[in-house]
Amino acid sequence: MIESVMEHLGNALKIYSNGKHFDTMLEAKNLYFSLTGQVFEEDEDYESRMSAFNDWYLLQFVSEDGCPIWNYVSENTVEDNISKALRTIKHSIYEYQGRNLRKQHVLKDIVHNRKITLSKRAIIPSLIKNDLFIGRVIETEGEFFTLSGLCLLPGEIKNILKKEGKKVRLLNDSKKEVEFLLRVESLKTKWNRYGHLDAKSIFVFN
């Protein structure tokens, strides 16, 4: 079913990036990159950041007209299980823990403190064990997959992120979670611009 889910995501992006929705998409784009730092075509992570924006816009941005993905599933013929999968995608910070004995990729969600075993069919970018990244995981028919918009993070800030992630988890506030994740992404952008500085001196949370 993951193929159908991804097809619906692609259709939704086409609909909500054109026509009467174009201005709303531009508004969202300006907001997103003001929160996470500007992106330039020559940046190494340009494509992944644009994918991350697309995911955020479709799944989390809320305008006066509502959230694109919620509007999409209410205005189009979408099976209930696919609709649920589209509306419950988990945005978080993940640690790649390598493969298990069944050769499946394993992630640790360090914000929600849970382990996720990806589907045998899951395709992920080239990751090394202990790599950290901001990303989104989708569940469909008991299988887990990652979306393409991954933001890699420096490994030396793992303990900092675990500490801050626990604080956010205890708040049990989805809005605060999103604010935290966008803040982390903005600090990653800053670190990219000032790569000569120690990551721990940049990833500071007050």
Mean pLDDT, residues 153-161? 96
Percent of the chain with pLDDT over 90: 91
What is the domain extent for residue 153? 90-202
- Helices (DSSP H) in 38-157: which residue ranges? 46-59, 68-75, 80-87
Q: How far apart are CA 137 and CA 58, in angstroms?
A: 14
Residues 69 and 119 in one domain: no
- Structural domain count, the chain: 2
Using the 3D structure, point to which of 87, 107, 122 is the last residue of a domain.
87
Coil/strand/helix, residue 166? helix
- Do the beta carbons of residue 12 and residue 59 sit within 8 Å? no
Indicate whether 107 and 51 sit together in one domain. Answer: no
Q: How far apart are CA 140 and CA 121, in angstroms?
A: 12
Beta bridge partners of 143: 140
Q: Where are the alpha helices (DSSP H) in 40-98?
A: 46-59, 68-75, 80-87
CATH number at residue 167: 2.40.50
Instruction: Tell me, yes or no, whether 28 and 57 share the same domain.
Output: yes
pLDDT in tens, 57-103: 999 999 999 999 999 999 999 999 999 999 999 999 999 999 999 99
Q: Is residue 82 domain-shared with residue 114, that is, in the same domain? A: no
Are 132 and 42 part of one and the same domain?
A: no
pTM for the full predicted model: 0.93
Looking at 87, 110, 143, the residue that finishes a domain is 87
Residue where one domain finishes, among candidates 58, 87, 116: 87
Output phi, psi for 78, to 5 deg: -130, 130
